[in-house]
Amino acid sequence: MRIEIWADVVCAWAFIGKRRLERALADRPDAEVVWRPFRIDPTAPAEAIPLDEALRDPLMDEALRACAPGLTPAQNRVRISEVAAAEGLGRRWGAGWRVSSHDAHRLIALAHERAGAAVQGAVAEAVLRAYFIEGRNIGDPAVLRDAALAGGFPEGPALLAGGAGEGLVRELLLQGKARKVRTSPSLVVGDRALAGAQSPEAIGEFLDGGAPRAALPAEVARMRWAESLMEQRDPLGALTLLAPLQEEFAGDRGVRMLAARAYFASAQLNRARAALGPLVEERPDDTYARLLYGRTLDRLGLTAEAGPHLRLAALGD
Mean pLDDT over all residues of the chain? Answer: 92
The string of pLDDT tens digits covering residues 24-67 is: 999 998 899 999 999 988 889 999 999 888 877 776 666 566 56
| Per-residue pLDDT, 69 | 62
How many residues would you count in the chain? 317
Average pLDDT of the residues in 298-308: 96
The string of pLDDT tens digits covering residues 235-262 is: 999 999 999 999 999 999 999 999 999 9
Domain ranges of the chain: 2-207, 218-316
Average pLDDT of the residues in 266-280: 97
For a pLDDT cut of 90, what percent of the chain falls above it?
78
The string of pLDDT tens digits covering residues 100-138 is: 999 999 999 999 999 999 999 999 999 999 999 999 999
| Per-residue pLDDT, 93 | 82
Greatest CA separation for the chain? 73
Work out the pLDDT band at 68, boundaries 50, 70, 90.
low
The string of pLDDT tens digits covering residues 121-180 is: 999 999 999 999 999 999 999 999 999 999 999 999 999 999 999 999 999 999 999 999
Inter-residue contact 95 to 51 (CB < 8 Å): yes
Residue 211 confidence (pLDDT) above 70: no
- Pick 2-207's CATH classification: 3.50.40.10, 3.40.30.10, 3.30.565.10, 3.80.30.20: 3.40.30.10
Residue 206 confidence (pLDDT) above 80: yes
Work out the pLDDT band at 215, boundaries 50, 70, 90.
confident
Lowest mean pLDDT among 71-75, 147-151, 232-236, 265-269: 71-75
Inter-residue contact 315 to 299 (CB < 8 Å): no
Alpha-carbon gap, residue 144 to 107, rounded angstroms: 8
| Per-residue pLDDT, 61 | 64
Alpha-carbon gap, residue 84 to 17, rounded angstroms: 10
| Per-residue pLDDT, 65 | 60
At the second CATH level, the architecture of 218-316 is Alpha Horseshoe (1.25)
Domain 2-207 identical in fold to domain 218-316: no
Residue 298 confidence (pLDDT) above 80: yes
| Per-residue pLDDT, 78 | 82
